[in-house]
């Protein structure tokens, strides 16, 4: 589908939009597939509705209650790590509260659909290009959100509003939305590149007031729901931050580069070497750009080579946990790209192999979420092939730049006349 020409998408725009909507509606009624996070979403949303805070009350605290309904028992029994209080942000918890009445998963999924549709159609302005339609019918997105309940759709939905504000040069509004997106999940900071590129640095001393408002708007967006939650539950002191650090330090999942480095007798370097190389190449490319209109020319190259996406991908693969739905946040970087490459879609899809755990494959395992090394190596090798292709494109560009000084005739200044 990704390799089909643009005229195909222009011709079949309406059927593809209907297909994407139809798949979403169908998946709303399907049960979660190899996933149990949904139970915590519903439980914690209803916990707040009953006047209790998930930051202070764990699911385990409810096990001894005798007045639980059959629905509550079913949901409670599905929660993993029931002894943990929540790690989700106040905005996410309050969203669950609004749309999980009666432990209704259907209601929550319908809220996802409305939120995503309104924001995405607002961003597209009824001009659905190829990348827009690919996003709309991307099966892995639909599966992760509308089958498995994952709330990354909140990040994606807000990102469409954020990008629209950027297009309309509403930097203060964009900054507020960016703060809210980062509030939902910290790795959404990768969207800040879109805001940074719109700022004018030459006259920053004169524009200090505007810069101040942009900064304050970001912090307001980030903290506003902490304040609202604190009003509802004034005894809250932690907001799950301690648990979040414990989660990051105590858990490791699907780090598919680890077996690759182990083959060479090395510790797991994740993508650190590639990230360092990428940063060096990016700095070199920036410095080698002609000074006149340097930022505009560099931005054009940045977009042409999908470097926004590459930076985001390398950033995510430094995390201790590579949950497949985390990589959905890279989709706006693909949609706004002008290259129409296939590789970004592949890189986003590769972590889906992590669902093939040893337990699900009927193999022996030492812990429930263990993934066999062959599966991890398959992910790593597929990822490295895609990254190699990316860096090949960058090196080709740098090679062309290095030949600029050799375009003059022999004997003239600039070719190498040392006489």
The pLDDT of residue 202 is above 70: no
Instruction: Look at the chain and count its residues.
Output: 419
The pLDDT of residue 2 is above 90: no
Which is nearest to 83 in space by CA: 65, 57, 48, 103? 57
Kindly indicate the confidence band of residue 416, based on its pLDDT and cuts at 50, 70 and 90.
Answer: very low
What pLDDT is stored for residue 294 in this prediction?
A: 73
Q: Return d(Cα 343, Cα 121) in angstroms, integer.
A: 25
Kindly indicate the confidence band of residue 343, based on its pLDDT and cuts at 50, 70 and 90.
Answer: very high
The pLDDT of residue 37 is above 60: yes
- Could you tell me the sign of the dihedral formed by the alpha carbons of 80, 107, 186, 48, in that order? negative
Q: Which of 24-38, 386-400, 405-419 has the lowest mean pLDDT?
A: 405-419
Q: Which of 121-125, 175-179, 191-195, 299-303 has the lowest mean pLDDT?
A: 299-303
What pLDDT is stored for residue 284 in this prediction?
A: 80
Question: Stretch 370-386: mean pLDDT, rounded?
Answer: 95
What pLDDT is stored for residue 413 in this prediction?
A: 40
Kindly indicate the confidence band of residue 283, based on its pLDDT and cuts at 50, 70 and 90.
Answer: confident
Give 297 or 353, the one with higher predicted confidence: 353
What pLDDT is stored for residue 409 in this prediction?
A: 47
Highest mean pLDDT: which of 188-202, 305-319, 320-334, 394-408?
320-334
Question: Stretch 160-170: mean pLDDT, rounded?
Answer: 95
Question: Stretch 298-317: mean pLDDT, rounded?
Answer: 85
Express each pLDDT in 254-265 by its tens digit. 999 999 999 999
Kindly indicate the confidence band of residue 179, based on its pLDDT and cuts at 50, 70 and 90.
Answer: very high
| C-alpha dist (Å) from residue 412 to 121, 236, 302, 408, 419 | 57, 74, 33, 7, 10
Kindly indicate the confidence band of residue 360, based on its pLDDT and cuts at 50, 70 and 90.
Answer: very high
What pLDDT is stored for residue 410 in this prediction?
A: 47
What pLDDT is stored for residue 412 in this prediction?
A: 43
Express each pLDDT in 286-296 by its tens digit. 787 777 777 77
Highest mean pLDDT: which of 66-70, 129-133, 222-226, 389-393?
222-226
Query: What percent of the chain shows pLDDT beyond 70?
Result: 93
The pLDDT of residue 210 is above 80: yes
The pLDDT of residue 154 is above 70: yes
191-194 contacts, C-beta under 8 A, 24 or more apart: 191/159, 191/162, 191/332, 193/308, 193/311, 194/162, 194/163, 194/166, 194/308, 194/336
Question: Stretch 379-400: mean pLDDT, rounded?
Answer: 84
Average pLDDT, the chain: 89
Any idea where the domains of the chain sit in the sequence?
A: 1-249, 251-402
Longest CA–CA span in the chain (Å) reads 96
Which is nearest to 103 in space by CA: 148, 57, 70? 70
Provide the β-strand partners of residue 253: 321
The pLDDT of residue 403 is above 90: no
Q: Which of 153-167, 218-232, 239-253, 327-341 has the lowest mean pLDDT?
A: 239-253
Question: Stretch 164-188: mean pLDDT, rounded?
Answer: 95
Give 43 or 64, the one with higher predicted confidence: 43
The pLDDT of residue 419 is above 70: no
325, 152 contact by CB (below 8 A): yes
3-state secondary structure of 2: coil
Q: Which of 130-134, 138-142, 399-403 has the lowest mean pLDDT?
A: 399-403
Q: Which of 15-29, 231-245, 280-294, 334-348 has the lowest mean pLDDT?
A: 280-294
Kindly indicate the confidence band of residue 205, based on its pLDDT and cuts at 50, 70 and 90.
Answer: low
């Amino acid at each position: 589908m990704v390799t089909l020409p643009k005229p195909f998408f222009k011709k079949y725009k309406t059927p593809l939009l209907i297909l994407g909507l139809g798949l979403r509606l169908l998946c709303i009624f399907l049960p979660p597939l190899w996933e149990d996070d949904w139970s915590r979403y519903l439980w914690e949303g209803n916990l707040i509705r009953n006047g209790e805070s998930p930051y202070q009350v764990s699911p385990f605290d409810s096990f001894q209650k005798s007045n639980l309904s059959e629905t509550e028992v079913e949901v409670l029994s599905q929660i993993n790590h029931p002894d943990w209080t929540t790690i989700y942000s106040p905005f996410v918890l309050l969203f669950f509260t609004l749309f999980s009445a009666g432990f209704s998963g259907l209601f929550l999924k319908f809220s996802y659909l409305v939120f995503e549709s309104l924001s995405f159609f607002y961003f597209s302005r009824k001009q659905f290009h190829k990348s827009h339609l690919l996003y709309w019918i991307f099966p892995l997105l639909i599966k992760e959100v509308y089958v498995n309940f994952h709330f990354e759709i909140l990040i994606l939905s807000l990102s469409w509003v954020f990008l629209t504000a950027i297009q309309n040069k509403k930097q203060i509004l964009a900054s507020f939305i960016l703060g809210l997106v980062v509030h939902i999940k910290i790795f959404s900071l990768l969207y800040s590149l879109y805001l940074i590129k719109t700022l004018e640095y030459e006259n920053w001393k004169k524009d200090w007031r505007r810069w101040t408002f942009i900064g304050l708007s970001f912090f307001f967006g980030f903290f506003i729901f902490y304040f609202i939650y604190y009003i509802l539950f004034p005894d809250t002191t932690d907001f799950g931050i301690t648990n979040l650090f414990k989660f990051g330090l105590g858990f490791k999942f699907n780090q598919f580069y680890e077996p690759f480095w182990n083959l060479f007798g090395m510790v797991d370097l994740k993508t650190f070497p590639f990230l360092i190389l990428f940063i060096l190449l990016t700095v070199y490319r920036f410095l080698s750009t002609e000074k006149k209109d340097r930022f505009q020319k560099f931005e054009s190259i940045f977009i042409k080579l999908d470097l926004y996406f590459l930076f985001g991908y390398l950033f995510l693969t430094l995390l201790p946990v590579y949950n497949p739905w985390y990589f959905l946040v890279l989709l706006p970087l693909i949609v706004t790209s002008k290259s129409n490459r296939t590789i970004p879609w592949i890189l986003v899809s590769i972590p889906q192999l992590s669902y093939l755990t040893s337990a699900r494959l009927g193999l022996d395992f030492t812990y429930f979420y263990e993934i066999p090394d062959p599966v991890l190596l398959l992910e790593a090798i597929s990822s490295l092939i895609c990254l190699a292709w990316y860096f090949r494109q960058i090196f080709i560009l740098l090679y062309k730049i290095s030949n600029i000084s050799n375009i003059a005739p022999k004997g003239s200044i600039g070719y190498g006349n040392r006489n």
